[in-house]
Amino acid sequence: MDWKLLSQRVKSGETAAIARAISLVENNLPGCQALLESLETHPIPVVGITGPPGAGKSSIVNELAAYWLNQNLKVAVIAVDPSSPFNFGALLGDRLRMAGLFTHPNLFIRSLSSRGSLGGLSSGILETIDIFKHAGFDRIIVETVGVGQSEVEIAGVADTTVVVTVPESGDEVQTLKSGVMEIADVFVVNKADREGASRFASHLKERARENEAHETKVIETIAIKGKGIDLLSQAISDHHQQLENNPRRYILLAEKLGRIIAKRRMADFHAEKQAEILRQIANKPGFNLYVYANQFS
């Protein structure tokens, strides 16, 4: 494979080349390291959409993408899907609910398997984002699987983290750990036409003001009707502009560096091979998994 040619084709925005490059790095195939080192990345907004199942994350993603496409922007959507711990495939595939946008020439949708990641993200997420940046997209959206409070992992990937909730989440937000409140750069109260939405939004604003780390905006939306999406887009743009001189930008970069280093150290670890070894030794007297793990340090 000529990775230099592939890199050039990705930079020119060729859809097939972008898909090929993502598959190359996601599966850690020969040539992927050279390809990654050739990438030219730019400060393009990466927006993480997270929140509990049923909050309407996919509807928010759909409407936000459509809004930006109407502004003649190129949009990439990464949908991180839950996956089987045995075959690691993306169970949901490309989001069928976004079918109305599939044929748009300025949109690229890619599903990535979470591959057992507890934080709801894929191990190839950083590389995929940088491929999209190299390809000249104007906006990148990452939608997580919605697995609960472990989704704080999204804050280590996205420039702007949008936490989607619904009015019925009132009791849930009362008990949210401070970590979840801290990762939100923008709160969205979706399905705002439901009873109690304004009261819930006011409560979120009060909780957000308690966070001295950074300002968190609260936006009310009715995603299936496209209402409030313009306000959400503006809130994302405002936050991204604030990042330019914000120390958090470099903290985010350091977290990404840590992920890259950790992934490289785990490159030679093969779960299937270790499972076979453990089958032979795990039941022996005195076996200790933590002692056994020292050989990989």
More reliable by pLDDT, 68 or 259: 68
The whole-angstrom separation of Cα 110 and Cα 240 is 23
Helix, coil or strand: residue 266 = coil
Q: How big, in percent rounded to 5, are the helix, strand and coil portions of the chain? A: 50, 15, 35
Give pLDDT, residue 49. Answer: 92
Percent of the chain whose pLDDT exceeds 70 = 78
Cα four-point dihedral sign 276, 25, 128, 107? negative
Question: All domains of the chain, ordered by start, with CATH?
Answer: 1-38 (no CATH), 40-262 (3.40.50.300), 271-296 (no CATH)
Q: What is the pTM of this model?
A: 0.81
pLDDT digits (tens, 9 = 90+) for 252-294: 778 778 878 887 777 778 888 899 999 899 989 989 888 898 8
Q: Pairing between strand 160-165 and 186-189?
A: parallel
pLDDT digits (tens, 9 = 90+) for 191-250: 999 998 998 888 888 877 766 656 789 999 999 999 999 999 999 999 988 876 666 677
Give pLDDT, residue 180. Answer: 62
Helix, coil or strand: residue 33 = helix
> 36-50, 101-115, 241-255: which has the minimum mean pLDDT?
241-255
Q: What is the mean pLDDT of the chain?
A: 81
46 pLDDT more than 80: yes
